[in-house]
Amino acid sequence: MHVMREETVMKNPSARLYIVFILFLSVWVTGCPKTPEMPDRSEISTGYDLQDVPVDTSLGGLFFLDAQKGWASGNKGVILHTEDGGKNWVVQETGTKMLIVSTFFINEKLGWAVGDKGLIAHTSDGGKTWGPQHSGEKKDLTHVYFVNEKQGWVTGVKGILLSTEDGGLVWTRSKGDSRMTMNFIHFTDEDHGWIVAQKGKLLYTENRGINWSLRETGTTIDLHQIGFVSPEIGWIVGSAGLVLKTVDGGKTWFRQKSGVNSLLTGLSFVDENTGWVVGAGGMVLRTRDGGKTWEQQTTGTLQFLTAVHFNDEKRGWITGTKKTLLFTETGGEAPPAVNGSANAALVSDSEKKSD
């Protein structure tokens, strides 16, 4: 969902470190150290293949409707689409050159995309054509989520929280804290939803977004993504290697020890046990025991990884900066002969359950 802006050099970066794709800038833009060079991929044992994409820009948004149909988005108005499980990706024309950070499809025809300067785009033909919807905002938007064809939400900087009851013909802004950047929104059903934000803020609704209340997370670290595999069990990832888990529907959250200090931006769980998180420096962590232990996987890249999606325990995709699009059919496992201590690190959360 997040992506570095390649073409802009910040004049005052400290003023805009409140969302992940801006934080990327403070690390990666001109004048800062370049990404360290990796050895040739043919010399690295990895379970991830670097897919060929028809664009030369960073990718941040990633959404799969099913095992075959998916979309990736990024800088310069880019939206890529696959209909064959990622074997081939084609460019969908969006009519904009602005950064697109998030896409969401409710079915194979109806979809939305959001990004810079209040951009909301809509398609009714699977992305063959995209048209603008009026958000009423000039500030950057961060994520979009729909629970059905009519009802959806968009988050953004400066406390932006938009909702629609008619598929985006009209977007209405809710009152919120203008100092808070909301990074990601997720609903477990049409009534119950979550928003993660900066400084450890977590918002919750149980009445379709009519009212939102703060939930305690036990941290002031920025939160970047949230996901649930059931109404009771879910995870949050954030800055400084933060991984939080709930087993009671979000009433309480405890910290799991990731073993890293990297900024983590994306997560994908396929069941209560198996999941992946991704982040800075080519970081990919996998768990097979619900987060009690995390295994660092070799990706063959040091690019900033921005989003991850797995369809099952084997097949998954990861987006990143500099047109990075990784694919695995092995759950990220490298060939068995070399998939040992050189390529993996195990850490346990048994000693630390909270900040």
Report how far residue 74's alpha carbon sits from residue 94's, in angstroms, rounded to the nearest whole number.
Answer: 11
Q: Where are the domains of the chain?
A: 13-329
Average pLDDT over the chain reads: 87
Check if the beta carbon of residue 285 is closer than 8 Å to that of residue 42: no
131 closest CA partner among 144, 122, 141 = 122
Report how far residue 118's alpha carbon sits from residue 139's, in angstroms, rounded to the nearest whole number.
Answer: 5
Using 50, 70 and 90 to split pLDDT, how confident is the model at 256? Answer: very high
pLDDT at 44: 81
pLDDT at 36: 56
- Write the pLDDT tens digit of every residue in 151-192: 999 999 999 999 999 999 999 999 888 889 999 999 999 999
Range of 29-33, 85-89, 244-248 with top mean pLDDT: 244-248
pLDDT at 27: 36
% of the chain with per-residue pLDDT over 70: 83
Output 86 or 106, whichever has higher pLDDT. 106
Output 231 or 37, whichever has higher pLDDT. 231
Which top CATH class is 13-329? mainly beta
Report how far residue 300's alpha carbon sits from residue 49's, in angstroms, rounded to the nearest whole number.
Answer: 9
pLDDT at 175: 86
- Write the pLDDT tens digit of every residue in 297-344: 999 999 999 999 999 999 999 999 999 999 999 999 998 864 444 444
pLDDT at 337: 63
- Write the pLDDT tens digit of every residue in 11-31: 333 333 333 443 343 333 333
181 closest CA partner among 153, 200, 158 = 158
pLDDT at 335: 83
Q: What is the DSSP string of 115-154?
A: EGGG-EEEESSTTSS-EEE-----SPEEEEEESSSS-EEE
Element (H, E) at 268: strand 264-269
pLDDT at 340: 46
- Write the pLDDT tens digit of every residue in 40-73: 666 788 999 999 999 999 999 999 999 999 999 9
Report how far residue 58's alpha carbon sits from residue 74's, in angstroms, rounded to the nearest whole number.
Answer: 6
Check if the beta carbon of residue 103 is closer than 8 Å to that of residue 115: no
